[in-house]
């Protein structure tokens, strides 16, 4: 604001000073000196702030600085002719071309469109566009004003052309700035353009009066109307001083290859050159010398303009190639990323990488017809409106959501979404980076379960050892008393006591198996053979239950260093659990047994088609004495013992999420030796 106030104060002081001077020569001197100072205001501000602008912003303010510089150089030439060489009103000298071209630059500079925040690669083409338009403007001014003005007979007509074209250019600049302010709303550039416009509005009325004085021959430097030349520079300095700095944020990458911008405006401008240049020669001849100069100027302008356009096209082509190469590299990086990446445009998915497609079970073609909300599970749908509202407010959003796959299964996902804005600040796309939390949640559950079982193991170990001695005493006492007694009833009761004590002893041994840190004798085992043996042992019971067993054994399975009986018992326990789950729910489906290799580990999976295990109890199924079966169905030690055996062998036993039923996965570290080919 200080520059606008300074400009108004400067203009008022100048108008009052020249109005008070009676000496025409002194007024001429004061006027020429005073007209040299205003263009220095925007020049000073632009040079001071030049490091804060990049790309199109730097091009725009460079053009504004060129306006001030050209006008300043032209004013020096004017002052030299008028003051030192006593040439009054030298309207048709070389310096007038500079000042006239400079006066058109506030309009031509809008070619850069700094408020659009376009790709920085296009800034060079904007420089060339502005250069071509300035050259064409110089040609038009020379053809319409300077050349006719050199002929005494045509000077009055040239002055009238100058008096008409000058204000029209400023009106056009004002209209262009108003359009730019409207296009930039509601961003910070709106105020910048309006401040530039305010300076032109204040100047137009004064310059109209000045133009009338020029036509009538009553103008001389030092007139109060000179304020019309001064005010726009001060308002330009105000606009430059308050202009926003170039953003350092990462700009959005185009989703499609960058295309050439159309140079139609430049071609249209170039086409006017021969029509105007040669047309004036034939329809308004001004003598052999002037007409010859017009022809030379026309050819030179055509050649120079076309050369600049060709340079522009080559520069833009190079920028497009670089931008497209960057897009290709970024697209390749997205495809190789582990994270799930998608880009949403409106209510459709514009892009999804391979990881995202695999996670949700859709192909890219299918995702084009799936709305983003359709990928959110029903339990998370209530959170969508609030998250969408935050995105509309141009905020980055982070949340955890249950996502829905194509097959109806779900998974927990942690995701971040950020809006992508165009140059006008409007949201064009939203980019989302999704991380599947399935493995993280499984690992967390394993850690929690491991800590819980570790604490339980210490407790169970102590209890088992404390119970073992009393149970042995009970068994021994029952056998001794039974041998000495001749009462059949008493012997029957003692036998029941011994039987129950033996049963309790077996439970204690199972508990010790669960908590023991090492298994018995271990040898290199073919896990395929052990699993097949376990399946054969349970084949009759499974067949009687009406359950079909499907076996799938991986060839060349690595040998495992393990205790054969322990591993077989684990597989038998898993098969028995699967069988009981299916028969208990009245399901006569398929029980699948599969082996596989994952890196250096051997995998054994047992899957049933029963009712599955509810999520609320899934974390407790490996605890001793915990069971989902009715009371009296067993002590609930099968899975806990199997878990203890797996841990003792350095492996894991997990419940794997599946769409239907339950799937238990036993993972054992390979012994580093290849095994025989599986027998199917």
- End-to-end C-alpha distance for the chain, whole angstroms: 88
Q: Which of 436, 461, 479 is the last residue of a domain?
A: 436
pLDDT at 633: 47
394 and 423 co-located in one domain? yes
* Tally of CB atoms within 10 A around 231: 24
Q: Is residue 110 part of a domain?
A: yes
pLDDT at 626: 61
Q: How confident is the model at residue 46 (pLDDT cuts 50, 70, 90)?
A: very high
Residue 549 has pLDDT above 50, yes or no: yes
Query: Which has more pLDDT, 474 or 180?
Result: 180
Query: Which has more pLDDT, 358 or 269?
Result: 358
pLDDT at 465: 66
511 and 537 co-located in one domain? no
pLDDT at 358: 87
Closest CA to 55 of 121, 116, 107: 121
Residue 388 has pLDDT above 80, yes or no: yes
Single pTM value for the model:
0.55
Q: How confident is the model at residue 516 (pLDDT cuts 50, 70, 90)?
A: low
Give 363: exposed, middle or buried? Use CB within 10 Å, 0-12, 13-18, 19+.
exposed
Look up tokens 């059949």; give the residue: 488
CATH number at residue 587: 3.30.565.10
Query: Is there a contact between 448 and 442 (Cβ–Cβ < 8 Å)?
Result: no
CATH number at residue 511: 1.10.287.130
pLDDT at 256: 40
Query: Is there a contact between 36 and 98 (Cβ–Cβ < 8 Å)?
Result: no
In which domain, by residue range, is 581 found? 523-669
d(CA 49, CA 52): 6
Question: Which residues lie closer than 8 Å to 198 by C-beta, 6 or more apart?
Answer: 4, 235
367 and 499 co-located in one domain? no
125 and 208 co-located in one domain? yes
pLDDT tens profile 101-149: 889 999 999 988 888 877 676 788 888 888 888 888 888 888 878 877 7
Across the chain, mean pLDDT equals 81
Query: Is there a contact between 273 and 138 (Cβ–Cβ < 8 Å)?
Result: no
Q: Is residue 312 part of a domain?
A: no
120 and 220 co-located in one domain? yes
Please give the tally of structural domains in the chain. Answer: 4
35 and 156 co-located in one domain? yes
Give the chain's count of helices (H) and strands (E): 20, 12
Tokens of 623: 């605890």
Residue 332 has pLDDT above 50, yes or no: yes
150 and 226 co-located in one domain? yes
pLDDT tens profile 64-103: 999 999 999 999 998 998 888 888 777 778 788 898 888 9
DSSP 82: I
141 and 193 co-located in one domain? yes
Q: Which of 246, 265, 280 is the last residue of a domain?
A: 246
Q: Is residue 597 part of a domain?
A: yes
Q: Which of 436, 456, 482 is the last residue of a domain?
A: 436
d(CA 233, CA 8): 11
* Tally of CB atoms within 10 A around 485: 13
Q: Is residue 377 part of a domain?
A: yes
Q: Is residue 283 part of a domain?
A: no
Q: 349 by DSSP, 3-state: which? A: strand
Query: Which has more pLDDT, 28 or 446?
Result: 28
d(CA 493, CA 477): 13
372 and 479 co-located in one domain? no
Asked which of 28-37, 85-94, 354-363, 390-399 is least confident by mean pLDDT, the reply is 85-94
Q: Is residue 319 part of a domain?
A: no
d(CA 364, CA 375): 14
Q: Is residue 260 part of a domain?
A: no
Q: Is residue 366 part of a domain?
A: yes
CATH number at residue 423: 3.30.450.20
530 and 494 co-located in one domain? no
pLDDT at 240: 94
423 and 446 co-located in one domain? no
d(CA 485, CA 483): 6
491 and 568 co-located in one domain? no
d(CA 57, CA 112): 8
pLDDT tens profile 614-634: 877 776 777 765 665 554 444
Three-class secondary structure assignment of 142-166: HHHHHHHHCCHHHHHHHHHHHHHHH
DSSP 629: S
């Amino acid at each position: 604001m200080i520059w606008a106030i300074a400009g108004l104060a400067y203009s008022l002081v100048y108008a009052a000073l020249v109005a008070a001077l009676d000496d025409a020569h002194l007024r001429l001197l004061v006027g020429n000196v005073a007209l040299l100072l205003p263009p220095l205001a925007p020049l000073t501000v632009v040079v001071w702030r030049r490091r804060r602008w990049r790309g199109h912003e730097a091009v725009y303010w460079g053009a504004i600085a060129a306006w001030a510089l050209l006008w300043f150089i032209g004013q020096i030439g004017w002052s030299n002719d008028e003051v030192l060489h006593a040439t009054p009103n030298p309207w048709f000298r070389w310096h007038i071309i500079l000042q006239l071209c400079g006066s058109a630059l506030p309009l031509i500079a809008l070619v850069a469109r700094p408020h659009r925040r376009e790709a920085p690669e296009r800034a060079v083409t904007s420089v060339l566009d502005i250069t071509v338009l300035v050259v064409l403007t110089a040609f038009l001014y020379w053809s319409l004003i300077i050349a006719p003005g050199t002929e005494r007979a045509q000077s009055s007509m040239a002055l009238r052309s100058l008096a008409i074209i000058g204000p029209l250019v400023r009106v056009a600049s004002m209209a262009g700035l108003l359009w730019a302010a409207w296009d930039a709303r509601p961003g910070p550039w709106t105020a910048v353009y309006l401040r530039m416009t305010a300076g032109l509005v204040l100047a137009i009325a004064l310059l109209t009066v000045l133009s009338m004085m020029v036509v009538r021959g009553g103008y001389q430097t030092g007139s109060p109307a000179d304020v019309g030349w001064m005010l726009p520079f001060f308002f330009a300095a105000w606009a430059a001083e308050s202009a926003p700095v170039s953003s350092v944020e990462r700009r959005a990458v185009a989703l499609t290859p960058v295309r050439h911008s159309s140079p139609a405006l430049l071609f249209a401008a170039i086409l006017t050159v021969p029509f105007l240049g040669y047309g004036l020669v034939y329809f308004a001849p001004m003598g052999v010398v002037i007409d010859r100069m017009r022809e030379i100027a026309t050819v030179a302008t055509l050649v120079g303009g076309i050369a600049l356009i060709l340079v522009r096209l080559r520069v833009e082509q190079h920028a497009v190639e670089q931008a497209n190469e960057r897009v290709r590299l970024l697209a390749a990086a997205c495809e190789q990323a582990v994270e799930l990446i998608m880009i949403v445009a409106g209510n459709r998915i514009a892009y999804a990488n391979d990881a995202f497609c695999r996670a949700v079970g859709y192909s890219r073609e299918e995702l084009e017809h799936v709305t983003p909300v359709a990928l959110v599970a029903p339990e998370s749908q209530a959170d969508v409106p609030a998250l969408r509202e935050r995105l509309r407010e141009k905020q980055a959003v982070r949340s955890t959501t249950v996502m829905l796959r194509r097959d109806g299964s779900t998974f927990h996902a942690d995701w971040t979404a950020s809006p992508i804005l165009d140059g006008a600040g409007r949201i064009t796309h939203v980019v989302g980076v999704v991380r599947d939390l399935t493995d993280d949640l499984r690992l967390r559950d394993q850690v929690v379960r491991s800590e819980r079982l570790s604490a339980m193991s210490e407790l169970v170990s102590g209890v088992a050892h404390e119970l073992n001695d009393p149970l042995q005493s009970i068994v021994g006492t029952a056998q001794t008393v039974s041998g000495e007694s001749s009462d059949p009833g008493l012997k029957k009761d003692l036998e029941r006591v011994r039987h129950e004590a033996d049963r309790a002893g077996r439970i204690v041994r199972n508990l010790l198996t669960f908590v023991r840190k090492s298994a018995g004798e271990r040898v290199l085992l073919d896990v395929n053979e052990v699993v097949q043996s376990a399946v054969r042992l349970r084949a009759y019971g499974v067949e009687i239950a009406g359950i079909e067993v499907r076996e799938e054994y991986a060839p060349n399975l690595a040998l495992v260093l393990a205790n054969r009986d322990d591993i077989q018992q684990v597989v038998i326990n898993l098969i028995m659990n699967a069988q009981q789950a299916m028969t208990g729910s009245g399901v006569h489906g398929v029980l699948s047994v599969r082996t596989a290799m994952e890196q250096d580990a051997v995998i054994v999976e047992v899957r049933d088609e029963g009712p599955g295990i509810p999520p609320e109890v899934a974390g407790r199924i490996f605890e001793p004495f915990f069971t989902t079966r009715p009371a009296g169905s067993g002590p609930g030690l099968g899975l806990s013992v199997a878990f203890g055996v797996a841990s003792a062998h350095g492996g894991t036993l997990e419940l794997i999420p599946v769409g239907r039923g339950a799937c238990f996965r036993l993972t054992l570290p390979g012994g580093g030796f290849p095994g025989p080919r599986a027998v199917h």
